[in-house]
Amino acid sequence: MEFKDIIYTKEEGIATITLNRPQALNALTQRMQQEWLAAIEDAKRDEGVRVLVVTGAGRAFCAGRDMRHEMAPESLMLSQIMEHTGENIHGLALKLANLDKPYIGSINGPAVGGGMDFASMCDIRIASERAKFGMAYVRMGLPPAGGGCYYLPRIVGIAKACELIWTGRIIDAAEAIRIGYVSKVVPHDELEAATKELATQLAKGPSLAIKLAKRLIYRCLDLDLARALEEHRMALLIAQGTEDAKEGPRAFIEKREPIFKGR
Protein backbone atom coordinates (compact mmCIF):
# COMPACT_ATOMS: atom_id res chain seq x y z
CA MET A 1 0.00 0.00 0.00
CA GLU A 2 1.16 3.54 -0.77
CA PHE A 3 1.20 5.62 2.41
CA LYS A 4 0.05 9.22 2.30
CA ASP A 5 -1.65 10.06 5.61
CA ILE A 6 0.97 8.18 7.63
CA ILE A 7 4.72 7.68 7.36
CA TYR A 8 5.80 4.09 7.94
CA THR A 9 9.43 3.19 8.50
CA LYS A 10 11.38 0.17 9.76
CA GLU A 11 14.88 0.22 11.21
CA GLU A 12 16.81 -2.12 13.52
CA GLY A 13 13.77 -4.11 14.58
CA ILE A 14 11.65 -1.01 15.24
CA ALA A 15 8.70 -0.06 13.03
CA THR A 16 7.38 3.49 13.37
CA ILE A 17 3.99 4.85 12.34
CA THR A 18 3.89 8.65 12.12
CA LEU A 19 0.44 10.14 11.71
CA ASN A 20 1.04 12.62 8.91
CA ARG A 21 -1.76 15.17 8.66
CA PRO A 22 -0.14 17.95 10.73
CA GLN A 23 -2.30 20.62 9.12
CA ALA A 24 -5.34 18.91 10.67
CA LEU A 25 -3.67 17.97 13.97
CA ASN A 26 -3.42 14.41 12.62
CA ALA A 27 -7.18 13.91 12.80
CA LEU A 28 -8.25 10.48 11.55
CA THR A 29 -9.62 10.02 8.03
CA GLN A 30 -10.74 6.80 6.39
CA ARG A 31 -7.53 6.79 4.36
CA MET A 32 -5.37 7.22 7.45
CA GLN A 33 -7.27 4.43 9.17
CA GLN A 34 -6.71 2.08 6.23
CA GLU A 35 -3.01 2.93 6.11
CA TRP A 36 -2.68 2.58 9.89
CA LEU A 37 -4.29 -0.86 9.77
CA ALA A 38 -2.01 -1.90 6.90
CA ALA A 39 1.08 -0.78 8.80
CA ILE A 40 0.02 -2.68 11.93
CA GLU A 41 -0.58 -5.81 9.86
CA ASP A 42 2.81 -5.45 8.19
CA ALA A 43 4.55 -5.03 11.55
CA LYS A 44 2.70 -8.04 12.90
CA ARG A 45 3.73 -10.29 10.00
CA ASP A 46 7.34 -9.08 9.64
CA GLU A 47 9.50 -11.26 11.89
CA GLY A 48 12.22 -8.62 11.71
CA VAL A 49 9.98 -6.12 13.49
CA ARG A 50 10.04 -6.57 17.25
CA VAL A 51 8.56 -3.25 18.42
CA LEU A 52 5.98 -0.86 16.93
CA VAL A 53 5.96 2.87 17.74
CA VAL A 54 3.23 5.40 16.93
CA THR A 55 3.67 9.18 17.01
CA GLY A 56 2.39 12.29 15.28
CA ALA A 57 3.87 14.80 12.85
CA GLY A 58 3.79 18.47 13.78
CA ARG A 59 2.47 19.82 17.05
CA ALA A 60 -0.23 17.23 17.84
CA PHE A 61 -0.46 13.50 18.35
CA CYS A 62 -4.06 13.14 17.16
CA ALA A 63 -7.24 15.21 17.41
CA GLY A 64 -9.56 12.23 16.95
CA ARG A 65 -11.70 11.59 13.89
CA ASP A 66 -11.83 14.31 11.23
CA MET A 67 -15.56 14.73 10.69
CA ARG A 68 -15.05 17.83 8.54
CA HIS A 69 -12.92 15.84 6.11
CA GLU A 70 -15.73 13.33 5.57
CA MET A 71 -19.10 14.83 6.37
CA ALA A 72 -20.39 17.49 8.73
CA PRO A 73 -21.70 15.88 11.94
CA GLU A 74 -25.17 17.33 11.49
CA SER A 75 -25.47 15.65 8.07
CA LEU A 76 -24.67 12.17 9.33
CA MET A 77 -27.42 9.69 10.01
CA LEU A 78 -27.10 7.49 13.10
CA SER A 79 -26.34 4.45 10.94
CA GLN A 80 -23.48 6.33 9.24
CA ILE A 81 -22.00 7.43 12.56
CA MET A 82 -22.08 3.85 13.82
CA GLU A 83 -20.55 2.53 10.61
CA HIS A 84 -17.75 5.10 10.56
CA THR A 85 -16.92 4.54 14.23
CA GLY A 86 -16.90 0.76 13.81
CA GLU A 87 -14.69 0.87 10.74
CA ASN A 88 -12.24 3.45 12.05
CA ILE A 89 -11.54 3.56 15.77
CA HIS A 90 -12.96 0.14 16.60
CA GLY A 91 -11.12 -1.48 13.72
CA LEU A 92 -7.81 -0.19 15.06
CA ALA A 93 -8.61 -1.35 18.59
CA LEU A 94 -9.41 -4.86 17.45
CA LYS A 95 -6.34 -5.04 15.21
CA LEU A 96 -4.09 -3.95 18.07
CA ALA A 97 -5.69 -6.46 20.43
CA ASN A 98 -4.12 -9.17 18.25
CA LEU A 99 -0.67 -7.56 18.08
CA ASP A 100 1.70 -9.52 20.33
CA LYS A 101 4.59 -7.11 19.89
CA PRO A 102 5.14 -4.08 22.16
CA TYR A 103 3.24 -1.00 20.95
CA ILE A 104 4.71 2.26 22.25
CA GLY A 105 2.97 5.62 22.05
CA SER A 106 5.39 8.50 21.58
CA ILE A 107 2.98 11.30 22.42
CA ASN A 108 4.38 14.47 20.93
CA GLY A 109 1.45 16.82 21.56
CA PRO A 110 -2.30 16.98 22.27
CA ALA A 111 -4.23 13.69 22.17
CA VAL A 112 -7.89 14.58 22.48
CA GLY A 113 -11.14 12.65 22.05
CA GLY A 114 -10.44 9.74 19.76
CA GLY A 115 -6.79 10.78 19.88
CA MET A 116 -6.70 9.95 23.58
CA ASP A 117 -8.40 6.64 22.81
CA PHE A 118 -5.62 5.91 20.31
CA ALA A 119 -3.02 6.78 22.94
CA SER A 120 -4.80 4.52 25.43
CA MET A 121 -4.51 1.60 23.00
CA CYS A 122 -0.71 1.70 23.40
CA ASP A 123 0.99 -0.66 25.83
CA ILE A 124 3.32 2.11 27.03
CA ARG A 125 3.07 5.88 26.59
CA ILE A 126 6.06 8.25 26.68
CA ALA A 127 5.01 11.89 26.54
CA SER A 128 6.57 15.16 25.54
CA GLU A 129 6.19 17.89 28.14
CA ARG A 130 3.94 19.56 25.53
CA ALA A 131 1.47 16.67 25.47
CA LYS A 132 -2.10 17.18 26.65
CA PHE A 133 -4.88 14.63 27.03
CA GLY A 134 -8.64 14.93 27.13
CA MET A 135 -11.72 12.73 26.76
CA ALA A 136 -13.54 15.52 24.96
CA TYR A 137 -16.57 13.51 23.81
CA VAL A 138 -18.81 14.83 26.59
CA ARG A 139 -18.36 18.36 25.25
CA MET A 140 -20.18 17.21 22.13
CA GLY A 141 -22.88 15.42 24.10
CA LEU A 142 -21.43 11.98 23.38
CA PRO A 143 -19.99 9.07 25.38
CA PRO A 144 -16.50 7.84 24.41
CA ALA A 145 -16.57 6.25 20.96
CA GLY A 146 -13.22 4.51 20.76
CA GLY A 147 -13.12 2.22 23.74
CA GLY A 148 -12.26 4.89 26.30
CA CYS A 149 -14.56 3.32 28.90
CA TYR A 150 -12.65 0.05 28.42
CA TYR A 151 -9.07 1.33 28.38
CA LEU A 152 -9.04 4.29 30.75
CA PRO A 153 -10.30 2.56 33.94
CA ARG A 154 -7.71 -0.16 33.40
CA ILE A 155 -4.95 2.46 33.19
CA VAL A 156 -5.86 5.06 35.84
CA GLY A 157 -8.57 3.37 37.92
CA ILE A 158 -12.33 3.73 37.91
CA ALA A 159 -12.72 6.97 39.89
CA LYS A 160 -10.18 8.96 37.88
CA ALA A 161 -11.53 7.53 34.60
CA CYS A 162 -15.05 8.61 35.58
CA GLU A 163 -13.82 12.12 36.34
CA LEU A 164 -11.94 12.51 33.06
CA ILE A 165 -14.71 10.99 30.94
CA TRP A 166 -17.59 12.86 32.59
CA THR A 167 -15.93 16.29 32.67
CA GLY A 168 -13.91 16.18 29.47
CA ARG A 169 -11.19 18.04 31.36
CA ILE A 170 -7.86 18.50 29.59
CA ILE A 171 -4.84 17.36 31.58
CA ASP A 172 -1.21 18.20 30.93
CA ALA A 173 1.75 15.81 30.83
CA ALA A 174 2.64 16.45 34.46
CA GLU A 175 -0.80 15.32 35.63
CA ALA A 176 -0.78 12.42 33.16
CA ILE A 177 2.34 10.94 34.76
CA ARG A 178 1.06 11.69 38.25
CA ILE A 179 -2.07 9.58 37.68
CA GLY A 180 -0.13 6.83 35.90
CA TYR A 181 -1.51 7.45 32.42
CA VAL A 182 1.95 7.85 30.90
CA SER A 183 5.15 6.08 31.95
CA LYS A 184 7.55 8.95 31.35
CA VAL A 185 7.57 12.65 30.50
CA VAL A 186 10.59 14.18 28.77
CA PRO A 187 11.52 17.56 27.28
CA HIS A 188 9.96 17.84 23.84
CA ASP A 189 13.29 17.78 22.01
CA GLU A 190 14.24 14.54 23.79
CA LEU A 191 11.06 12.59 23.02
CA GLU A 192 12.35 10.84 19.90
CA ALA A 193 15.57 9.78 21.61
CA ALA A 194 13.77 8.57 24.76
CA THR A 195 11.32 6.56 22.67
CA LYS A 196 14.10 5.03 20.60
CA GLU A 197 16.04 4.10 23.73
CA LEU A 198 13.11 2.12 25.13
CA ALA A 199 12.17 0.62 21.76
CA THR A 200 15.77 -0.48 21.15
CA GLN A 201 15.97 -2.10 24.57
CA LEU A 202 12.80 -4.08 23.85
CA ALA A 203 13.89 -4.93 20.30
CA LYS A 204 17.09 -6.48 21.67
CA GLY A 205 15.18 -8.52 24.24
CA PRO A 206 13.89 -12.10 23.94
CA SER A 207 11.00 -11.43 21.57
CA LEU A 208 9.08 -14.66 22.25
CA ALA A 209 9.23 -14.12 26.02
CA ILE A 210 8.03 -10.54 25.54
CA LYS A 211 5.18 -11.69 23.29
CA LEU A 212 4.11 -14.33 25.80
CA ALA A 213 4.29 -11.81 28.63
CA LYS A 214 2.13 -9.35 26.71
CA ARG A 215 -0.50 -12.02 26.11
CA LEU A 216 -0.45 -12.93 29.80
CA ILE A 217 -0.77 -9.32 30.97
CA TYR A 218 -3.95 -8.70 28.97
CA ARG A 219 -5.50 -12.13 29.34
CA CYS A 220 -5.04 -12.15 33.10
CA LEU A 221 -7.05 -8.94 33.48
CA ASP A 222 -10.20 -11.01 33.00
CA LEU A 223 -9.16 -14.31 34.64
CA ASP A 224 -9.37 -15.64 38.16
CA LEU A 225 -6.11 -16.54 39.89
CA ALA A 226 -6.24 -20.28 39.20
CA ARG A 227 -6.81 -19.78 35.47
CA ALA A 228 -4.18 -17.04 35.33
CA LEU A 229 -1.58 -19.29 36.94
CA GLU A 230 -2.39 -22.03 34.45
CA GLU A 231 -1.83 -19.55 31.60
CA HIS A 232 1.52 -18.66 33.17
CA ARG A 233 2.48 -22.34 33.36
CA MET A 234 1.71 -22.92 29.69
CA ALA A 235 3.65 -19.83 28.63
CA LEU A 236 6.66 -20.94 30.68
CA LEU A 237 6.60 -24.38 29.05
CA ILE A 238 6.70 -22.75 25.62
CA ALA A 239 9.51 -20.34 26.51
CA GLN A 240 11.74 -22.85 28.26
CA GLY A 241 12.42 -24.71 25.03
CA THR A 242 13.79 -21.68 23.18
CA GLU A 243 17.39 -20.74 22.44
CA ASP A 244 16.81 -17.42 24.19
CA ALA A 245 15.96 -19.23 27.42
CA LYS A 246 19.37 -20.92 27.23
CA GLU A 247 21.22 -17.76 26.21
CA GLY A 248 19.99 -15.75 29.19
CA PRO A 249 21.47 -17.99 31.93
CA ARG A 250 24.61 -18.60 29.83
CA ALA A 251 25.25 -14.87 29.50
CA PHE A 252 24.65 -14.40 33.23
CA ILE A 253 27.24 -17.04 34.11
CA GLU A 254 29.71 -15.60 31.60
CA LYS A 255 29.10 -12.07 32.92
CA ARG A 256 28.15 -10.55 29.57
CA GLU A 257 25.10 -9.05 27.92
CA PRO A 258 22.81 -11.70 26.41
CA ILE A 259 22.36 -11.82 22.64
CA PHE A 260 18.76 -12.83 22.05
CA LYS A 261 17.73 -14.09 18.61
CA GLY A 262 14.00 -14.43 19.09
CA ARG A 263 13.95 -18.20 18.87
The H or E element containing residue 45 is helix 30-45
Residue intervals of the chain classified under CATH 3.90.226.10 are 6-203
CATH of region 207-253, choose from 3.30.160, 1.10.760, 1.10.12, 1.10.10: 1.10.12
Write the DSSP symbol of residue 199. H
Q: How far is CA 175 from CA 65, 68, 139, in A?
A: 25, 31, 21
Task: Tell me the C-alpha distance between 229 and 154, whole Å.
Answer: 20
pLDDT at site 193: 98
Predicted confidence (pLDDT) at residue 215 exceeds the cutoff of 90: yes
pLDDT at site 205: 93
Residue intervals of the chain classified under CATH 1.10.12 are 207-253
Which of 44-58, 148-162, 241-255 has the weakest average pLDDT?
Answer: 241-255
pTM of the model: 0.89
For the segment 57-73, what is each residue's pLDDT rounded down to a tens digit?
999 999 988 766 554 44
- Provide long-range contacts, Cβ within 8 A and 24+ apart, for 214-222: 214/100, 214/101, 214/102, 214/123, 215/100, 218/97, 221/154
25: left (phi over 0), alpha (psi -120 to 50) or beta: left
Predicted confidence (pLDDT) at residue 32 exceeds the cutoff of 60: yes
For the segment 97-143, what is each residue's pLDDT rounded down to a tens digit?
999 999 999 999 999 999 999 999 999 999 999 999 999 999 888 99
Secondary-structure class of domain 6-203 per CATH: alpha beta
Strand-pair partners of 186:
128
